[in-house]
């Protein structure tokens, strides 16, 4: 890492089905709570999937005034609130426009939900019924724009739509922006609110979601389980304040963790299925470790994508074992999506927050409902059912997306801060 500007995490904000803010989210992780429940927001009689994980009683008006809310789709509301919480956690306030503070946001479907609503109005009531606000609410970059406007951030700003790898991609882009010297602070993360009739049915038709139809909702989402059959859709946002190290130290910030490595590759194989050899996925992991200047032997915990689909989980686990080599059975690996549902583009940033909390507390969250692991996973430490104490220095966090996108982040316990 010699010569690179170092990027540290000094604040985090999260809006998740476990609760609003870090305390509520962490409490849910510690208690092993599953927010999955039978979907009642719309008719599911025509879908095999019956469960989702949504944020109950969301009241954006407690955070934002009406004149702003009327131009913000639900995912955008989540992102702005998560950004506010992250800045508060970092102890950052801005009284004037900031040219050295930027924003990097990821999302898979963005404002698709409002587009779905307006299409219905178009079809039932005619063209004139379409809201003039659709043009500034439905496109993916609205969250990035509103965050910039809300806090006066005039630095580099990006939006990526790298499907379920979008959260990791946003954090990686922020890391590179700081390393290149283009910004001193970046708000980075992702947001998603995909639980609408059309999007839900699309993933249902794809066969990607769990078809569990029993009376124990927590069993609907079981990554790495022998009987897994897809994911439970979730929603939310997680935003990190990523700061150049000397900038953070100069203002007396508390450094929570350091982002030491990032890589992104593509399998160039299929839009929705993993490439069987896993070489591109493995290469992303190796490149991220090389970027961080560490070896596989330095990894203390792996946060996999673990989407819960039959093919993806074991393919991913196989590549993790190839990376770790002889230590593969000794390094904890836990799939945490059941805590929030699969939040699509927001998944990587939500799991980055999980990773930092795990590192701060030296506690690895469990893989929920994993009472009967896939036989192909029995030689891995999957932290089933209950979390546990574990010393953590370096975490490898993976996020994989449609279109063959493989991303890997290395999050490290900060060392040699010069304090």
Residue 363 lies inside a defined structural domain of this protein = yes
What are the backbone angles phi and psi of residue 394, rounded to the nearest 5°?
Answer: -135, 135
Residue 164 appears among annotated catalytic residues: yes
Residues 246 and 336 grouped into a single domain: no
Residues 384 and 307 grouped into a single domain: yes
pLDDT digits (tens, 9 = 90+) for 113-162: 999 999 999 999 999 999 998 988 988 999 999 999 999 999 999 999 99
pLDDT digits (tens, 9 = 90+) for 41-80: 999 999 999 999 999 989 999 999 999 998 899 999 999 9
Residue 118 near residue 131, CB atoms below 8 Å: yes
Its pTM stands at 0.97
Residue 256 lies inside a defined structural domain of this protein = no
Residue 114 lies inside a defined structural domain of this protein = yes
Residues 282 and 246 grouped into a single domain: no
Residues 242 and 387 grouped into a single domain: no
Residues 209 and 130 grouped into a single domain: yes
- The residue segments making up the domain with residue 322 are 261-412
Residue 1 lies inside a defined structural domain of this protein = no
Annotated catalytic residue, options 146, 247, 305, 394 = 305
CATH number of the domain that 102 lies in?
3.40.47.10
Residues 268 and 224 grouped into a single domain: no
Residue 327 lies inside a defined structural domain of this protein = yes
pLDDT digits (tens, 9 = 90+) for 20-42: 999 999 999 999 999 999 999 99
Total domains, the chain: 2
Residue 419 lies inside a defined structural domain of this protein = no
Residues 162 and 66 grouped into a single domain: yes
Residues 217 and 277 grouped into a single domain: no
Where is the domain boundary, 227, 250, 273?
Answer: 250
Annotated catalytic residue, options 164, 225, 355, 394 = 164
The pLDDT assigned to 293 comes to 97
Annotated catalytic residue, options 25, 247, 342, 394 = 342
Residue 342 appears among annotated catalytic residues: yes
Residues 189 and 298 grouped into a single domain: no
Residue 25 appears among annotated catalytic residues: no
Residues 240 and 265 grouped into a single domain: no
The pLDDT assigned to 419 comes to 47
Residue 2 lies inside a defined structural domain of this protein = no
Residue 407 lies inside a defined structural domain of this protein = yes
Where is the domain boundary, 195, 220, 250?
Answer: 250
Where is the domain boundary, 189, 222, 250?
Answer: 250
Residues 311 and 230 grouped into a single domain: no
Residues 86 and 213 grouped into a single domain: yes
């Amino acid at each position: 890492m010699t010569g690179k500007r170092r990027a540290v995490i000094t604040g985090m904000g999260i809006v998740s089905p476990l609760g609003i803010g870090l305390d509520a989210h962490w409490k849910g992780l510690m208690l092993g709570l599953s927010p999955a429940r039978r979907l009642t927001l719309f008719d599911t009689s025509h879908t095999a999937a019956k469960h989702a994980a949504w944020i109950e009683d969301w009241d954006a008006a407690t955070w934002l005034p009406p004149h702003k809310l009327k131009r913000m789709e639900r995912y955008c509301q989540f992102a702005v609130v998560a950004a506010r919480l992250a800045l508060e956690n970092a102890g950052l306030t801005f009284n004037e426009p900031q040219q050295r503070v930027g924003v990097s946001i990821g999302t898979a479907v963005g404002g698709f939900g409002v587009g779905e609503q307006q299409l219905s109005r178009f079809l039932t009531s005619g063209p004139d019924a379409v809201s003039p606000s659709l043009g500034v609410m439905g496109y993916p970059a609205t969250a990035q724009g509103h965050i910039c406007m809300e806090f006066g951030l005039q630095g580099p700003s990006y939006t990526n739509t790298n499907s379920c790898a979008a959260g990791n991609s946003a954090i990686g882009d922020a890391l590179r922006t700081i390393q290149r010297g283009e910004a001193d602070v970046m708000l980075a993360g992702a947001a998603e609110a995909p639980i609408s009739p059309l999007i839900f049915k699309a993933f249902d038709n794809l066969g990607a979601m769990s078809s569990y139809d029993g009376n124990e909702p927590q069993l609907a989402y079981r990554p790495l389980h022998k009987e897994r059959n897809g994911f439970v859709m979730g929603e939310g946002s997680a935003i990190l304040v990523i700061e150049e190290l000397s900038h953070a130290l100069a203002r007396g910030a508390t450094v929570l963790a350091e982002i030491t490595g990032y890589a992104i590759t593509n399998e160039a194989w299929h839009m929705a299925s993993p490439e069987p050899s896993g070489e591109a996925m493995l290469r992303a992991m190796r490149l991220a470790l090389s970027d961080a200047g560490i070896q596989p032997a330095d990894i203390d915990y792996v946060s996999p994508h673990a989407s819960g689909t039959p093919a993806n989980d074991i393919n991913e686990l196989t590549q993790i074992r190839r990376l770790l080599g002889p230590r593969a059975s000794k390094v904890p690996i836990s799939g945490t999506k059941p805590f929030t549902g699969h939040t699509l583009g927001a998944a990587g940033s939500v799991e980055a927050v999980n990773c930092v909390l795990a590192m701060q507390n030296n506690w690895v969250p469990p893989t929920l409902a994993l009472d009967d692991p896939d036989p192909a996973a029995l030689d891995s430490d999957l932290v089933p059912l209950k979390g546990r104490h574990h010393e953590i220095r370096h975490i490898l966090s993976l996020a994989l997306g449609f279109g063959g996108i493989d991303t890997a982040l290395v999050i490290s316990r900060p060392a040699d801060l010069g304090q």
